[in-house]
Amino acid sequence: MSAASDRVAIIGGGLAGSVLAILLARRGMTPVVVERSAAYSSSAPPRGRSINLALAARGISALQRAELLDDIENLLIPMRGRMLHETEGELRFVPYGQRRDEEIHSVSRAELNVTLHAIASGRYGVEYRFDHECVDVDTVSGNAVIASARGREELAAGVTIAADGAGSIVRRTLCEAGVLNASEAPLDHGYKEFTLPATRDGDFALDPNALHIWPRGDFMLIALPNRDRSFTATLFLPLEGAVSFANVGASAAADFFAANFPDTVPLMEDVEADWLLHPTGQLGTVHCKPWRFRDRIVLLGDAAHAIVPFHGQGMNAAFEDCIEFDNLVAAHGADWNRVLRDFEARRSDNARAIAEMALENYREMRDRVRDDDFRLRTEVAFELERRFPERFVPRYSMVMFHPEISYSEAQQRGAAQAGLLGELIGDARRLEDIDFDRAPEMLDRVARSSTDG
Ligand SMILES: Cc1cc2nc3c(=O)[nH]c(=O)nc-3n(C[C@H](O)[C@H](O)[C@H](O)COP(=O)(O)OP(=O)(O)OC[C@H]3O[C@@H](n4cnc5c(N)ncnc54)[C@H](O)[C@@H]3O)c2cc1C
């Protein structure tokens, strides 16, 4: 392999960039990671991106394959279900799954970035260039152009992987050059983060083993635990309109919380200060085609397929990308044409599927979780899984706990199962009223329809 072809330029040393650098270094390649931030610090979370994230089975399985799980296990806080907070303060716990291991994990983005960087550079000798920003792509050479305090230079490499996140400069530059087509579909809701500190006794203010949700119809608050026993709460709210970021504003923030999330008020230090200090983040879905430019450049993670965060799957999907890319490198080495083509072919349908399911899940989280029909459907789905574990897995569980089922298969099976649930439930109001003897024949029909295509 020539020096140029085994050097892999990775633009962006975020979550996907570091995991991919580790995997490629393990294959004997020479990744160089270009990161526009200054060197990471676990006490300074990156601005404008979520402070903590939910890691689910797909991410766990990818980290396990990269032999990284032992290193990050102590960063994880298990969350076994949703804790729903009604306006009157009533709490209701809804488990995510029905097996003991069907849980997700809260992890700090900053701690994860720091740990992955330490392993990449310390254990595998990966070179990171911090304070270096990709500003352009030379479409003749296919190399990235990097700006730093030393000026601008082209980074020659066998292949360049753009892991530079949702706002990817590489994607935007290639679009402007007319070699990629991308659309960024912004959501009309944004987000803002708030801190619920540990109590005076140094304990968690809420149950740490749940993802807390205050569903309020057109908006919601969620909170995930941190290892310092605080919670990070995120408010998702329309950007414009009667109840919106445009209308509420810092001075009305305390009243807004008191009216809508009264049980959080005694737990927060200064809502107004958080409102002012923390930016209102934008959310959206990126659709891009193709993901590659010749055999020279490929997009991966959020750069290729950023999604809205309501299934908690963006990072999980990005880690799955890394494993798929690594599998292809294992099979085809530095035959970049083949690797890049097959990577896009294997991942793009899955990316589309999770993007669609993530958008659907927003309504479920902020609204439908509260209604009786939704509760009954969830109970019936769990009951079907208990009775027919080989034949029925709820769609949410397929996405969150079954990495062996691809996102696109989960979406297809989920659509067929939705019809079955509707038919089985009919007018029933309670689980006891459902005739589960009808289920085997319905499951046969669903199976036949999926094999018929
Ligand atoms: C509010 C919110 C909540 C979320 N919650 C979850 C969750 O619970 N679970 C989940 O799985 N996902 C979640 N996500 C999605 C998750 O954050 C992303 O999918 C994930 O970070 C993607 O990883 P990435 O490496 O592709 O991009 P990033 O993590 O964004 O990393 C990109 C890196 O590239 C660097 N960079 C950018 N531009 C340049 C440049 N020009 N030159 C050099 N470097 C550059 C950046 O500094 C950054 O380090 C959430 C997202 C948001 C916004």
Point out the least confidently predicted range of 40-44, 111-115, 298-302.
40-44
Q: What number does the ligand 1 atom closest to the CA of 224 have? A: 8
* Ligand 1 pocket, residue 107 CB under 6 Å: no
61-100: burial string, b at 16+ Cβ within 10 Å, e else: bbbebbebeeebeebbbebbbbbbbeeeeeeeeeebbeee
The number of angstroms, rounded, from the C-alpha of 420 to the middle of its chain's C-alpha atoms is 29
Residue range 148-186, pLDDT digits in tens: 999 999 999 999 999 999 999 999 999 999 999 999 999
Residue 70 has pLDDT above 60, yes or no: yes
How far is CA 268 from each of CA 195, 233, 261, 376, rounded to the nearest angstrom? 7, 10, 11, 34
Q: Is the shortest distance between the CB of 49 and ligand 1 below 6 Å?
A: yes
Q: Which of 341, 351, 270, 275 lies closest to 306 in space, CA to CA?
A: 351
Cβ–ligand 1 distance for 190 under 6 Å, the answer no
* Pocket perturbation via mutation, ligand 1, pick of 10, 15, 75, 245 by most ligand atoms within 8 A of CB: 15
Q: Predicted confidence band at 365 (pLDDT cuts at 50, 70, 90)? A: confident
Evaluate: CB of 225 within 6 angstroms of ligand 1.
Answer: no
Distance separating alpha carbons of residues 144 and 146, to the nearest angstrom:
6
Question: Rounded to whole angstroms, how far apart are CA atoms 414 and 418?
Answer: 6
Which is higher by pLDDT, 445 or 196?
Answer: 196
Q: What is the pLDDT of residues 94-143, one digit of tens each?
A: 999 988 899 999 999 999 999 999 999 999 999 999 999 999 999 999 99
User: How far does the centroid of ligand 1 lie from the alpha carbon of residue 242, in Å?
Assistant: 30
Of 278, 254, 285, 261, residue with least CA distance to 188: 285
Q: What is the pLDDT of residue 367?
A: 81
Examine the pLDDT at 437 and tell me if it is beyond 90: yes
End-to-end CA distance of the chain: 43
Kindly give the distance from the C-alpha atom of residue 169 to the centroid of ligand 1, in angstroms, as a whole number.
13
Q: By the 8 A CB rule, do 237 and 245 touch?
A: yes
Q: What is the mean pLDDT of residues 53-80?
A: 97
pLDDT at position 434, please?
95
Quickly state the pLDDT bin for 50 (edges 50, 70, 90): low
Task: Give the mean model confidence (pLDDT) for residues 355-359.
Answer: 97
| pLDDT of 3 over the 60 cut | no
Tokens representing residue 196 in the block: 């619920």
The residue ranking higher by pLDDT, 259 or 40, is 259
pLDDT band at residue 2 using 50, 70 and 90 as cut-offs: very low
Q: What is the pLDDT of residue 369?
A: 79
Ligand 1 centroid to Cα of residue 302, in Å, is 6
Name which of 62, 58, 54 is nearest 398 in CA terms: 58
Q: Is the CB of 354 under 6 A from ligand 1?
A: no
Residue with the smallest CA separation from ligand 1 atom 39 is 164
Look-up of token digits 């979406």: 411
Q: Distances in Å between the alpha carbon of 300 and those of 167, 184, 281, 295, 308?
A: 12, 16, 22, 14, 16
Residue 1 is predicted with a pLDDT of 45
pLDDT-wise least confident of 2-16, 279-293, 407-421: 2-16
User: How much distance in Å is there from the Cα of 50 to the middle of ligand 1?
Assistant: 8
State the Cα–Cα distance between residues 156 and 9, nearest whole angstrom: 8
Q: What percent of the chain has a predicted confidence (pLDDT) above 90?
A: 89
Instruction: Supply the pLDDT for residue 347.
Output: 98
pLDDT band per the 50, 70, 90 thresholds, residue 76: very high
Which amino acid residue places its CA nearest to atom 35 of ligand 1? 12
Residue 440, pLDDT > 50, answer yes
For residue 385, give both structure tokens: 């899984």
**CA gap 413, 173 in Å, rounded:** 37
What is the average pLDDT across 406-426?
A: 95
267's tokens: 């737990």
**DSSP notation for 347-389:** HHHHHHHHHHHHHHHHHHHHTGGGSHHHHHHHHHHHHHHHH-T
Mean pLDDT of the chain: 94
pLDDT grade for 39, boundaries at 50, 70 and 90: confident
- Boundaries of CATH 3.50.50.60 in the chain? 3-76+108-185+283-360
Q: Is the CB of 134 under 6 A from ligand 1?
A: yes
Strand partners, 177: none
Banded pLDDT at 443 (limits 50, 70, 90): very high
Question: What's the CA-to-centroid distance between 429 and ligand 1, angstroms?
Answer: 42
Place 45 in a pLDDT band, splitting at 50, 70 and 90. Answer: low
Query: What percent of the chain has pLDDT above 70?
Result: 96
- What are the pLDDT digits (tens) for 392-401? 999 999 999 9
For ligand 1, whether the C-beta of 15 sits within 6 Å is yes
Q: For a substitution probing ligand 1, which of 23, 40, 53 has the most ligand atoms within 8 Å of its CB?
A: 53
Q: What is the mean pLDDT of residues 207-229?
A: 96
If you measure from the C-alpha of residue 24 to the centroid of ligand 1, how many angstroms do you get, rounded to a whole number? 20
Centre a 10 Å sphere on the Cβ of residue 358 and count the other Cβ atoms it contains.
22
Q: Which atom of ligand 1 is nearest to the CA of 313?
A: 11
Tokens found for residue 67: 């032999």
Which phi-psi region, left, alpha or beta, contains residue 145 (left: φ > 0; alpha: ψ -120 to 50)?
beta
Name residues whose C-beta falls within 8 Å of residue 162's C-beta, 6 or more positions apart in sequence: 11, 12, 134, 168, 170, 171, 297, 298, 299, 300, 303, 304
Which ligand 1 atom lies nearest to the CA of residue 306? 19
Is the domain 3-76+108-185+283-360 a CATH 3.50.50.60 member? yes
> Residues 299-312: what's their mean pLDDT?
98
Identify the three-state secondary structure at position 152. Answer: strand
Q: pLDDT tens for residues 317-345?
A: 999 999 999 999 999 999 999 999 999 99
Instruction: Write down the pLDDT at residue 41.
Output: 66
